[in-house]
Structure 1
Amino acid sequence: MSLRSAFPALAAALLFGASTPLAKLLVGEVPPLLLAGLLYAGSGLGLGLLWWARRVRAEAAGIPRADWGWLAGAIGFGGVLGPALLMAGLARTDGASAALLLNLEAVFTALIAWWVFKENADRQVVAGMVAIVIGGVLLSWSPGGAAPWSSGALLIAGACLCWAIDNNLTRKVSSHDAMAVAGLKGLLAGAFNSVLALAAGASLPAWPAVAASLAVGFVGYGLSLTLFVLALRQLGAARTGAYFSVAPLFGVLISLAIWPALPGALFWLAAALMALGVWLHLRERHEHEHTHEPLAHSHPHRHDVHHQHAHDAGWQGEEPHTHEHRHEALTHRHPHYPDIHHRHGHTHG
Structure 2
Amino acid sequence: MTHHYGYVGALLAAVLFGVSSTLNKIALRDVHPMVVAGSIYLTAGVVLMLLRFTPIKERLLRRLEFKVKTQGSFSRRDLQILALVVLFGSFLAPIFFMFGLERTTAVNASLLLNTETLFTVLIAIAVFKEKAHRRGVAGILLILIGAVVVSTENLGAVQLAENLIGNILVVLAGFFWAVDNNLSKLLSLKRDLLLVTSLKGLLGGTALLGLAFLLGIPMSVPLGSLPYVLTVGAFSIGFSIVLFLFALREIGAMRTGAIFSTSSLIGAFFAFLVLGESFTALKAFFGVLMLSGVYLLSAE
Work out whether the TM-score is over 0.5. Answer: yes
- Extract unaligned runs of 5+ from structure 1: 285-349
- What is the percent sequence identity of the aligned residues? 37
Give the alignment of 1:182-261 within 5 angstroms.
182-203=197-218, 204-210=220-226, 212-260=228-276
Q: Identify which of 130, 152, 166 aligns with 1:119.
A: 130
For the 8 Å contact 1:62–1:180, the answer to whether it is kept is no
Q: Identify which of 282, 286, 290 aligns with 2:298.
A: 282
Equivalent residue for 1:331? none
Select the structure with the greater relative contact order (CA < 8 A; seq sep ≥ 6): 2
Equivalent residue for 2:285? 269
Distance in 2, matches of 1:266 and 1:135, equals: 10
Equivalent residue for 2:168? 154
Equivalent residue for 1:84? 95
1:260-303 CA distance string (max 9 Å, x none): 4662232023212201211111211xxxxxxxxxxxxxxxxxxx
Give the alignment of 1:50-65 within 5 angstroms.
50-54=51-55, 63-65=74-76
Q: Secondary structure at the match of 1:72?
A: helix
When residues 66 and 55 of structure 1 are mapped into structure 2, their CA distance, relative to the original with a 3 A threshold, is farther
Q: Tell me by how many angstroms 1:104 deviates.
A: 0.5
1:203-251 CA distance string (max 9 Å, x none): 1122453454133211110000000000011011001101101001111
Q: Tell me by how many angstroms 1:33 deviates.
A: 1.1
Q: Which has the higher helix share?
A: 2
Equivalent residue for 2:185? 171
For the 8 Å contact 2:107–2:157, the answer to whether it is kept is no
Equivalent residue for 2:10? 9
Q: Which has the higher strand share?
A: 1
When residues 25 and 53 of structure 1 are mapped into structure 2, their CA distance, relative to the original with a 3 A threshold, is same
Distance in 2, matches of 1:63 and 1:14, equals: 30
Aligned length: 284
Given the alignment of the two structures, is residue 131 of structure 1 paired with residue 131 of structure 2, yes or no? no
Q: Secondary structure at the match of 1:52?
A: coil
When residues 152 and 262 of structure 1 are mapped into structure 2, their CA distance, relative to the original with a 3 A threshold, is closer
Q: Tell me by how many angstroms 1:10 deviates.
A: 0.4
Q: Tell me by how many angstroms 1:63 deviates.
A: 3.2
Equivalent residue for 2:64? none
For the 8 Å contact 1:97–1:148, the answer to whether it is kept is no
Distance in 1, matches of 2:285 and 2:26, equals: 27
1:173-202 CA distance string (max 9 Å, x none): 111111111111111111111122222222
Q: Secondary structure at the match of 2:141?
A: helix
Equivalent residue for 1:18? 19
For normalisation by structure 2, the TM-score amounts to 0.88
Runs of 4+, deviation exceeding 4 Å: 54-62
1:102-123 CA distance string (max 9 Å, x none): 1010110010000101011111
For the 8 Å contact 2:22–2:267, the answer to whether it is kept is yes
When residues 256 and 73 of structure 1 are mapped into structure 2, their CA distance, relative to the original with a 3 A threshold, is same
For the 8 Å contact 2:51–2:57, the answer to whether it is kept is no
For normalisation by structure 1, the TM-score amounts to 0.76
1:56-110 CA distance string (max 9 Å, x none): 9799766333311111111111111111111121111011110001101011001
Q: Tell me by how many angstroms 1:3 deviates.
A: 4.1
Distance in 1, matches of 2:56 and 2:278, equals: 48
For the 8 Å contact 2:32–2:217, the answer to whether it is kept is yes
Give the alignment of 1:317-336 within 5 angstroms.
none
Q: Which has the larger radius of gyration?
A: 1
Equivalent residue for 2:48? 47
When residues 84 and 264 of structure 1 are mapped into structure 2, their CA distance, relative to the original with a 3 A threshold, is same
Distance in 1, matches of 2:194 and 2:58, equals: 15
Distance in 2, matches of 1:154 and 1:115, equals: 22
For the 8 Å contact 1:93–1:146, the answer to whether it is kept is no
- Tell me the C-alpha RMSD between the 2 structures: 2.1
